[in-house]
Amino acid sequence: MDFVLVELNLYLNTHPDDLQAIEQFNKLTQERTGIANEYQLLYGPLQNFGRSYSKYPWEWSQSPWPWQV
C-alpha cells in the first residue's frame, strides 16, 4: 500500500491536475490508515517520531519488528 501511495505522490508532483489520481490517492490513504491502525493494535507501532502511538511499556524495543510479521 505504501509503495502505491509513494508512486501516486510522485506522479501527482508532475500531474497536479489529475483529479482521478488525486481521488485514488485519497481513497488509498484512507484505506492505508485503517490497515495501519489494525496492524498497530495487534503488533505495535509502524512509524516513529510521533507518527504512531505506543502502549505501555514503550513498544519500540519489543519484537516482532514490522518486517518480521
Helix H, strand E, coil C: the string for the chain is: CHHHHHHHHHHHHHCCCCHHHHHHHHHHHHHHHHHHHHHHHHHCCCCCCCCCCCCCCCCCCCCCCHHHC
Higher pLDDT, 4 or 49: 4
pTM over 0.75: no
pLDDT in the model for residue 27: 94
Task: Inform me whether the pLDDT recorded for 51 exceeds 90.
Answer: no
Question: Percent of the chain scored above 90 by pLDDT?
Answer: 49
Backbone region of residue 62 per phi and psi (left: phi > 0; alpha: psi in -120 to 50; beta: other values) = beta
Higher pLDDT, 12 or 52: 12
Q: Using an 8 Å Cβ cutoff, are 2 and 32 in contact?
A: yes
